[in-house]
Amino acid sequence: MTDAGVVVVGASAAGLAAAEAVRRAGHDGPVTVVGAEPHPPYTRPALSKALLRGTGGGESVYLPAPEADIGLRLGVDAVGLDPVGRRILLADGDSLPFTGLVIASGARARTMRVDGRGETVLRSLDDALALRQSLDRVSSVVILGGGFVGVEVASACAAAGVSTTLLIRHSRLMPRLGPQLSELVTGAALAAGITLRQVAGEVELIGNPVEAVGTPDGAVVAGDLVVTAVGCHPNVDWLDGSGIPIEDGVVVDSRCRAAPRITAAGDVARMRGRARTPFWTAALEQARVAGTALVRGEEASRYTPADFFWTEAFGLAVTVAGPLPAGGSAETLAGDLAQGSGLVRWRGRHGRVTVAAVNHRIARRKLRALAAEAS
């Protein structure tokens, strides 16, 4: 490729991995990673776990610095893409030409209000630091959403001795894990003293900042702090008018290509025909494909859906390889889930195999191999 260089928009997991893949694929021109946040790139999964519980943080959240010949331009948003002139427009008025572009602008927390006014969410390092400080001041927290982030926040609240209510849509927490695992997590949350309240229908946020949630049955659930944890929304606004295909994320082919010389990876990307998979391992593995495909085109390997996920809450460390939700006939390979630790394999419909380790040490590679060899 000759060469205005490669620009990567988004300086997080996918952006850095894509930049390094571009280099490894043989591109020797400039590579610049543009990131909106002023912080050095950091890892998001730690925010709702060690950092929020106060058992980690500081340096430990930062990702290793990129290779020396990858430029980082932090604290500035990309605000536009001119795909014909091949330029990225920046919020500070500057623009960057490119020969190749990786879109890795990730996602932001979904909010209940259109503008998120008065809502507390957890997506960024700043959000996590602010939330951790709040936990020292408050005695009650209401969390809207029983998915991974909501449950991990609830776990940190319980550990901080804060009275915690989770408002959930389904009867169990983390329903995406499948019935057995989600039952296990739900039991652990109840044992930790969390109040679960199932809410069918639309809720209303009250106050600015939000101080209570109105439920469809007319109840008002109040807390010193209310946290919205209802999923994430891809950061695609800056691509408005660019002609890049967007449908709940940047739509990409099996080599993460969105348009000629433009690829996308991570939480912002959606493989054609599949749902977005806003998880760490998928972000990294898509990024490697996106970076390589930018340089090597058809020679790059196709992305194989990563199907790997982990979470930690209420003393349970759950790692899953294979499609979610885990379901079908279960086979215990080690331990006993009912006792809170074990290794279990589910064989679902269409030969779908999922393996989960709960409080059970096993190398990620081995867990993935167990799921793959049985499929």
Ligand X SMILES: Cc1cc2nc3c(=O)[nH]c(=O)nc-3n(C[C@H](O)[C@H](O)[C@H](O)COP(=O)(O)OP(=O)(O)OC[C@H]3O[C@@H](n4cnc5c(N)ncnc54)[C@H](O)[C@@H]3O)c2cc1C
Residues of this chain that bind ligand X (CB under 6 A): 9-15, 34-37, 44-45, 47-48, 77-78, 104-107, 122-123, 149, 235, 238, 266-267, 278-281, 283, 309-311
Q: Which is nearer to ligand X, 125 or 199 (CB)?
A: 125
Q: Which is nearer to ligand X, 103 or 210 (CB)?
A: 103
In angstroms, what is the minimal distance from the CB of 203 to ligand X? 21
In angstroms, what is the minimal distance from the CB of 281 to ligand X? 6
In angstroms, what is the minimal distance from the CB of 294 to ligand X? 16
Q: Which residues are 330's β-sheet partners?
A: 346
In angstroms, what is the minimal distance from the CB of 49 to ligand X? 7
Q: Which is nearer to ligand X, 186 or 286 (CB)?
A: 286
Whether the CB-CB separation of 131 and 120 falls below 8 Å is answered with yes
Burial classification of residue 9, based on how many CB atoms lie within 10 Å of its CB (0-12 exposed, 13-18 middle, 19 or more buried): buried
Per-residue DSSP letters for 220-282?
A: EEE-SEEEE---EEE--GGGTTS---BSSSEEE-TT-EEETTEEE-GGGEEETTS-----HHH
Per-residue DSSP letters for 88-145?
A: EEETTS-EEE-SEEEE---EEE--SSTT-TT-B---SHHHHHHHHHHHHH-SEEEEE-
Handedness of CA 326, 331, 334, 339 (dihedral sign): positive
Classified as helix, coil or strand, 164 is strand
Backbone angles phi, psi at 122, to 5 degrees: -130, 105
Q: Which is nearer to ligand X, 39 or 347 (CB)?
A: 39
In angstroms, what is the minimal distance from the CB of 283 to ligand X? 4
In angstroms, what is the minimal distance from the CB of 201 to ligand X? 26
Q: Which is nearer to ligand X, 146 or 278 (CB)?
A: 278
The answer to whether the bond into 245 is cis (omega within 30° of 0) is no
In angstroms, what is the minimal distance from the CB of 178 to ligand X? 16
Nearest residue to 97 via CA among 84, 109, 106: 84
Whether the CB-CB separation of 108 and 194 falls below 8 Å is answered with no
User: Which amino acid is residue 108, in one-letter code?
Assistant: R
Q: Which is nearer to ligand X, 206 or 317 (CB)?
A: 317
Q: Which is nearer to ligand X, 126 or 299 (CB)?
A: 126
